[in-house]
Amino acid sequence: MEQPASYKRWPALAAAVIMQTCLGGIYAWSVFVPPLSAAFGYTAGQTQLVFGLAIACFTITMVLAGRLLLRWGPRRTALLGSLLFACGHLLAAMSQGHYLLLLGGIGLLGGASLGFGYVAALAIGIQWFPRHKGLVTGVAVAGFGAGAIVLSTFTSFCLHRGWPVLDIIRAIGWSYGVLTALSALLLFTPPPAIDHRPHSATSASLLGDRVFRALVGGMFCGTFAGLLVIGNLKPIGLNGGLTATTAAMAISFFALGNAVGRISWGWISDRVGYVAIPFSLVFLCGTLGLLLGARFIALTFWTVAFLMGFGFGSCFVLYAAQTASRYGVSEVAKIYPLVFLAYGAAGLAGPPLGGHLFDLTRNYTWSILAGMVMLLLGAVWTWRVRHAARTD
């Protein structure tokens, strides 16, 4: 029989997807790199530090946001994220090319906004649909993957029409700030009867849990490689002989694969459980290897971008679903942000490393190889604890 307030779960899930779509625009960052570099002379390392700092602040803020969510509820938590998003982008738009203002606006405030909005939207889906944790997590965060399609398409259109890049950032700040605030108002909290709790764990016991350590390690390895590539995706295409328009389209294909992958990996997780994690890391490693060709044609590059997005999407479904399965739905807002910190560390390491290696070698071969090695290490690590990861 349907719960008395369960009609609210569908608007809440829809609002979560919309919010994630807005926040996921951060994955379109590489489309901003060429115009920012051309206008203000930023190096590849500088532009990737903005992206990396945003990811790091995203994950660090999620730890605080997870605790605030338990006290404030999802709507107030998400509204704070909306405010930070708008303020950060408007600050960057007023920077007039001053790097520290851009870094603070997009990297610091913009990154922090992601943490508040993401954890609220993610937790709501799992709490309303506890029996389908993997699939619903995939649906909820698919919007985050699709967000790069929306924003890269809009940004490319505006750049083609001659808009200054900072004016585009200003428009994003206003429009997305309003849309995320409206979505936050629909993030209804489920009644206690729907919040099933299989079992939980105290924070003090986590470091002694080798499965928790494997979740953190797998998240770091997977996102290190994925962020290294996505933060440099358009420049990789340009370096491979593609036109600016063709290379920018790869961002949309990556984002499409990311969105499809999040839903697909969620479905897989509900059926095979933990072993989907090492398999996903091997899959992503194989797709990165396809980038090692010196020259590209459009269709090949777009196909590889889609497959990479598909594999990368697993990182944002499998670890959340396994956290809920192992520690309980009610613990997701507290424990998953700790796993997600590995994503922040990867954000600080992966994209800047890719940019600096290019600055040194003038190609992305060594960057791609570094990502592949990290993925193989993660696959071995997570595979070794597969038996311990079986939930009671």
Q: Is 303 exposed, middle or buried (0-12, 13-18, 19+ CB in 10 A)?
A: middle
Question: Does residue 308 have a pLDDT over 90?
Answer: yes
Question: Does residue 32 have a pLDDT over 50?
Answer: yes
- Percent residues over pLDDT 70 in the chain: 93
What pLDDT band is residue 294 in, cutting at 50, 70 and 90? low
Q: What is the pLDDT of residues 46-81, one digit of tens each?
A: 888 898 889 889 888 988 998 898 888 889 999 999
The structure tokens listed for 323 are 């956290």
pLDDT on residue 285:
95
pLDDT on residue 1:
39
pTM of this prediction? 0.77
**Stronger pLDDT, 204 or 99, i.e. the higher one:** 99
d(CA 121, CA 137): 10
Question: Does residue 352 have a pLDDT over 70?
Answer: yes
Count of residues making up the chain: 392
DSSP code, position 355: H
pLDDT on residue 154:
92
d(CA 88, CA 281): 33
pLDDT on residue 51:
87
Which element (helix H / strand E) includes 372? helix 365-384
Q: What is the pLDDT of residues 84-119, one digit of tens each?
A: 999 999 999 999 889 999 999 999 999 999 999 998
Residues sharing a CB contact under 8 Å with residue 29, sequence separation 6 or more, in sequence order: 47, 50, 51, 54, 230, 231
What pLDDT band is residue 204 in, cutting at 50, 70 and 90? low
Which option is the CATH number for 7-384: 3.30.70.100, 3.90.440.10, 1.20.1250.20, 1.10.287.370?
1.20.1250.20
d(CA 361, CA 196): 53
d(CA 40, CA 45): 14
What pLDDT band is residue 321 in, cutting at 50, 70 and 90? confident
The structure tokens listed for 244 are 């600016």
User: Can you tell me the mean pLDDT for 269-290?
Assistant: 92
Q: What is the pLDDT of residues 247-266, one digit of tens each?
A: 888 878 888 898 899 889 98
pLDDT on residue 170:
95
**Stronger pLDDT, 312 or 5, i.e. the higher one:** 312
pLDDT on residue 85:
96
d(CA 249, CA 242): 11
Contact between 233 and 253 (Cβ < 8 Å): no
pLDDT on residue 182:
95
The identity of residue 177, as a single letter, is G
User: Can you tell me the mean pLDDT for 145-174?
Assistant: 90
d(CA 299, CA 310): 16
What pLDDT band is residue 144 in, cutting at 50, 70 and 90? confident
User: Can you tell me the mean pLDDT for 351-373?
Assistant: 84
What pLDDT band is residue 200 in, cutting at 50, 70 and 90? low
Q: Given the structure tokens 């309003």, which residue do they identify?
A: 178
pLDDT on residue 248:
80
What pLDDT band is residue 390 in, cutting at 50, 70 and 90? low
